[in-house]
């Protein structure tokens, strides 16, 4: 029996011999599992790199979109400032016409018509963010007022706005036009004359 087994082993060719343990089909001696593990690690590294690039591009795009939105808002606001600044003299003229018409009652119908135009015009401007600010009776503020004149006054503290020559306006939270005003000053003290000095002797 043992002799028969030996005879069968001798009859096998080299091609019929079983592959050595741990040898892959490529004949290079690298285990198949190691090759797969290496390829998997490479694929994972590539995917992670692509993911990082995608996240960076997404963040860059968000920053770009935010900058564009800010630029657009600034452009619109600047355009509004220029347009409304050109329209303010028209609003001033309407106000002056109303002031004169109010004093002359013979133009009552004309006065009411101009008043209606001014109200409608002002509402349009207010819808764009325009707002007037009061100045009379307020302390003089260089950020809000342009002083045209100082007049001595005893009834109000010095540096108080006593007259508004031209109204000031804000557009949103920014000063669009300073108010042109008249400001109070300390009353002058009369110096005694020579006649007054002689009377006191």
Predicted confidence at residue 24, as pLDDT, reads 47
Domain boundaries, the chain: 131-187
Predicted confidence at residue 99, as pLDDT, reads 78
Q: In what order do the strands lie in the sheet with 179-185?
A: 145-152, 179-185, 161-166
Predicted confidence at residue 4, as pLDDT, reads 54
**Residue pointed to by tokens 């819808």:** 127
Work out the number of other CB atoms within 10 angstroms of the CB of residue 144. 17
What are the strands, taking DSSP E only, across 103-157? 130-133, 145-152
The whole-angstrom separation of Cα 144 and Cα 170 is 9
Q: Which residues of the chain have pLDDT under 50?
A: 1-2, 21-25
Work out the number of other CB atoms within 10 angstroms of the CB of residue 168. 21
Closest CA to 137 of 164, 98, 173: 164
Q: Which helix (H) or strand (E) holds 175?
A: strand 174-177
Predicted confidence at residue 97, as pLDDT, reads 76
CATH number of 131-187: 2.30.22.10
Q: Long-range contacts made by residues 19-28, C-beta under 8 angstroms, separation at least 24?
A: none
24-44 pLDDT, tens digit each: 445 555 567 888 888 888 888
The whole-angstrom separation of Cα 100 and Cα 104 is 7
Q: What does the block give as tokens for 183?
A: 């400001």
The whole-angstrom separation of Cα 3 and Cα 166 is 128
The whole-angstrom separation of Cα 32 and Cα 24 is 6
């Amino acid at each position: 029996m043992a002799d028969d087994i030996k005879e069968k082993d001798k009859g096998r060719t080299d091609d019929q011999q079983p592959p050595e343990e741990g040898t892959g089909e490529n004949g290079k001696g690298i285990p198949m599992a190691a090759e797969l593990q290496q390829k998997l690690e490479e694929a994972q590294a590539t995917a992670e790199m692509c993911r990082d690039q995608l996240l960076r591009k997404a963040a860059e795009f968000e920053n770009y979109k935010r900058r564009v939105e800010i630029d657009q808002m600034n452009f619109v606001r600047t355009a509004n400032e220029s347009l409304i600044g050109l329209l303010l003299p028209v609003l001033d003229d309407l106000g002056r016409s109303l002031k004169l018409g109010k004093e002359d009652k013979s133009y009552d119908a004309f006065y009411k018509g101009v008043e209606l135009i001014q109200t409608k015009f002002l509402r349009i401007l207010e819808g764009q963010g325009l707002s007037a600010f009061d100045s009379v009776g307020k302390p003089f503020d260089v950020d809000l007022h342009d002083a045209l004149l100082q007049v001595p006054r005893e009834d109000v503290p010095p540096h108080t706005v006593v007259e508004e020559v031209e109204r000031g306006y804000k557009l949103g939270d920014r000063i669009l036009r300073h108010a042109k005003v008249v400001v109070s000053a300390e009353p002058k003290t009369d110096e005694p004359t020579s006649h007054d000095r002689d009377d006191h002797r």
